[in-house]
C-alpha cells in the first residue's frame, strides 16, 4: 500500500516527506514536483511569505535516472524563511535552550491552546509550528508522485474554488481536466469567470479590515476506473477514506461527496443518479453526478467529486478574537502574526493532493504491480473484463 510520512516545522530548516510503496519505473523529474509546489503557492490573498518562499527541493532517495526504483522516495523541501534570518535559527534551533519570546495568547480556532495543554508546553510556538499549513508543501510533493502514477491509468485530478467568503460560483459548468490551466490563471482559482470579481472583492474587503476568509473548493477526479474502494468493510469505503484525507487538511471543517448535503433534503425519487447503457462506448453511465462518482463505498467509473469547506484562518492581521494570556490568565486578544487573508485557492491544490493519494493507494490495492508496466497492464486487463 502507498503510504507516506511528513516531518518538519513551518519555520524549521526544511520539510521532509517519505513515500513508500510506489511501483518501479514511474517517470519522475524534479520539475514535476516543483510544478505542483508552485501551484500550491497560487492565489490572491496569501501573505508576504508566499512571495519569497521558493520550495527548493532535494530528491534524496528512491529515484534514479528519472525513474522510481520501487524503494521509498525521500524528498526534502527547504524553508526559505530559515535561511533568510537569524531569528528562526535561534527560535527553531534543535540545540538545548529556551525562547526569550514565548507566545502565551493562544488563538481561538487554532491548535495553540489545546496543544499547549495536551503536551505540557508554555509556548504556543511549540504547537503552531507543526500545526501550520506549511506542512502541506510536503504532502503536495507526495501528491505529485501520486498524480504521476494515476496518470499512467488515465486519471486526472483537478480542483476549483466554488465559494470564497459568501461569494459563490455557479456550478452549472464544471472544469474538465484540460481546464486546469485556466483555473490556475484565475487569481482565486475560480472557473466561473462571472463570479471571480465578487470573490476577489470579498478578499480585498476582508484584507482591508484585517480579517480572514474561508470558502469551499471542489475536487474532481476524471478517468477513475470503477471499483476502487469496497462496500465490504467500513475502513475500505472510498468515500470514507476521501473524507478522512480531506478533513486532515489544516482548517478544513466540512467535507461533501457529490451533492451529499443537497440530496439530504430531496425525496429518494429525485436523489439518485439514473443508470443507462451507452451503446457507443459499450459501458454503463450515470445521467447525473449527485453521488459524486461513488456508490456503496466504491468508485462507479464516473468522475469522483469531493468538496472541502475551509474555515476562515484563525490568525488575523488585526486581532480581535478574545482569548486569555496563559501566564496571567487575564483576558486579552490573540497574538498577531504575519498571515494570509485566505488560503482557499491553495487549499484546492492540497485537496487535489489528498484525493490523488487516496485514489493512487486504492488503485494500487486493486491492480497491484511492482512495476508501472505491471500496474497499468493489470488495470487494462480488469477494464477489459467489464
Ligand atoms: C501559516 C501561516 C503563514 C503561511 C503558511 C501557513 O506563514 P507565516 O506565519 O510564516 O507567514 O504563509 O504557509 C506557508 C508557509 C506555505 O508554504 O503554505 C499557518 O499558520 O498555517
Note the pLDDT tens digit of each residue in 274-309: 999 999 999 999 999 999 999 999 999 999 999 999
What does the pLDDT look like over 323-341, one tens digit per residue?
Answer: 999 999 999 988 776 789 9
* Per-residue model confidence (pLDDT) at position 238: 98
- Distance between CA atoms of 358 and 143, rounded to whole angstroms? 9
Minimum mean pLDDT range among 143-152, 232-241, 314-323: 314-323
- Distance between CA atoms of 363 and 375, rounded to whole angstroms? 9
CB count within 10 Å of CB 76 equals 18
What architecture is domain 3-258+293-384?
4-Layer Sandwich (3.60)
248, pLDDT greater than 90:
yes
| Closest residue by CA, ligand 1 atom 13 | 134
Asked if residue 340 lies in contact with residue 133, where contact means CB atoms within 8 angstroms, the answer is: no
Which residues 6+ apart lie within 8 Å of 86 measured at CB?
A: none
Ligand 1 pocket residues where CB is under 6 Å: 10, 47, 49-50, 53, 132-134, 137, 250, 315, 337-340
Compute the distance from residue 350 Cα to the ligand 1 centre, in Å. Answer: 14
Q: How high does pLDDT run on average in the chain?
A: 95
49, pLDDT greater than 90:
no
Asked if residue 11 lies in contact with residue 337, where contact means CB atoms within 8 angstroms, the answer is: no
Asked if residue 363 lies in contact with residue 228, where contact means CB atoms within 8 angstroms, the answer is: yes
Compute the distance from residue 338 Cα to the ligand 1 centre, in Å. Answer: 8
Closest CA to 129 of 250, 258, 243: 250
Domain coordinates in residue numbering, the chain: 3-258+293-384
SS3 18: strand
Its pTM stands at 0.97
* Per-residue model confidence (pLDDT) at position 53: 85
| Closest residue by CA, ligand 1 atom 12 | 49
Asked if residue 224 lies in contact with residue 293, where contact means CB atoms within 8 angstroms, the answer is: yes
Compute the distance from residue 103 Cα to the ligand 1 centre, in Å. Answer: 17
* Per-residue model confidence (pLDDT) at position 172: 83
Q: Which pLDDT band, with edges at 50, 70 and 90, does 181 fall under?
A: very high
What does the pLDDT look like over 98-118, one tens digit per residue?
Answer: 999 999 999 999 999 999 999
- Distance between CA atoms of 9 and 192, rounded to whole angstroms? 36
Minimum mean pLDDT range among 144-158, 197-211, 245-259, 326-340: 326-340
Task: Please give the helix or strand (H or E) that residue 17 lies within, else none.
Answer: strand 14-20
Compute the distance from residue 48 Cα to the ligand 1 centre, in Å. Answer: 9
- Distance between CA atoms of 322 and 223, rounded to whole angstroms? 47
Residue 120 gets the label, from left (phi > 0), alpha (psi -120 to 50) or beta, of left
232, pLDDT greater than 80:
yes
User: Could you please report the per-residue DSSP string of 197-211?
Assistant: HHHHHHHHHHHHTT-
Which residues 6+ apart lie within 8 Å of 245 measured at CB?
A: 354, 355, 357, 358
Helix boundaries (H) for the chain: 30-40, 49-52, 80-84, 86-91, 112-119, 125-131, 136-151, 180-185, 193-208, 238-247, 260-263, 344-367, 372-384
* Torsion, Cα of 296, 297, 302, 307 (10° steps): 120
What does the pLDDT look like over 156-170, one tens digit per residue?
Answer: 999 999 999 999 998
Amino acid at each position: 500500500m502507498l503510504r507516506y510520512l511528513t516531518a518538519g516545522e513551518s519555520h524549521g530548516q526544511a520539510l521532509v516527506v517519505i513515500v513508500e510503496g510506489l511501483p518501479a519505473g514511474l517517470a519522475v523529474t524534479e520539475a514535476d514536483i516543483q510544478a505542483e509546489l508552485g501551484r500550491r503557492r497560487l492565489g490572491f490573498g496569501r501573505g508576504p511569505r508566499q512571495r519569497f518562499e521558493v520550495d527548493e527541493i532535494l530528491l534524496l532517495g528512491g529515484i534514479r535516472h528519472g525513474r522510481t526504483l520501487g524503494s521509498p522516495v525521500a524528498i526534502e523541501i527547504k524553508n526559505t524563511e530559515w535561511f533568510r534570518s537569524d531569528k528562526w535559527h535561534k527560535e527553531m534551533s534543535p540545540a538545548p535552550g529556551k525562547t526569550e519570546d514565548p507566545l502565551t495568547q493562544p488563538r481561538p480556532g487554532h491548535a495553540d491552546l489545546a496543544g499547549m495543554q495536551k503536551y505540557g508546553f508554555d509556548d504556543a510556538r511549540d504547537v503552531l509550528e507543526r500545526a501550520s499549513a506549511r506542512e502541506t508543501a510536503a504532502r503536495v510533493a507526495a501528491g505529485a508522485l501520486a498524480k504521476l502514477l494515476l496518470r499512467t491509468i488515465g486519471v486526472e485530478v483537478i480542483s476549483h474554488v466554488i465559494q470564497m467568503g459568501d461569494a459563490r460560483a455557479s456550478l452549472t459548468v464544471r472544469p474538465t481536466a484540460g481546464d486546469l490551466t485556466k483555473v490556475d490563471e484565475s487569481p482565486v482559482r475560480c472557473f466561473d469567470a462571472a463570479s471571480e470579481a465578487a470573490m476577489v472583492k470579498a478578499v480585498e474587503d476582508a484584507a482591508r479590515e484585517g480579517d480572514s476568509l474561508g470558502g469551499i473548493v471542489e475536487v474532481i477526479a476524471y478517468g477513475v476506473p470503477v471499483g476502487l474502494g469496497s462496500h465490504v468493510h467500513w475502513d475500505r469505503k472510498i468515500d470514507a477514506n476521501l473524507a478522512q484525507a480531506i478533513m486532515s487538511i489544516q482548517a478544513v471543517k466540512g467535507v461533501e461527496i457529490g451533492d451529499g448535503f443537497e440530496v439530504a433534503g430531496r425525496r429518494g425519487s429525485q436523489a439518485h443518479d439514473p443508470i443507462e447503457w451507452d451503446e457507443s462506448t459499450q459501458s454503463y453511465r450515470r445521467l447525473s453526478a449527485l453521488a459524486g462518482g461513488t456508490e456503496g463505498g466504491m468508485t462507479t467509473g464516473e468522475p469522483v467529486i469531493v468538496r472541502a469547506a475551509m474555515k476562515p484562518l484563525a490568525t488575523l492581521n488585526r486581532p480581535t478574537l478574545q482569548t486569555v494570556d496563559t501566564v496571567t490568565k487575564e483576558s486579552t486578544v490573540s497574538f498577531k502574526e504575519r498571515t494570509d487573508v485566505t488560503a482557499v485557492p491553495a487549499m484546492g491544490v492540497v485537496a487535489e493532493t489528498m484525493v490523488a493519494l487516496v485514489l493512487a493507494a486504492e488503485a494500487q490495492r486493486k491492480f497491484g504491480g511492482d512495476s508501472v508496466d505491471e500496474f497499468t497492464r493489470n488495470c487494462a486487463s480488469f477494464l477489459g473484463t467489464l
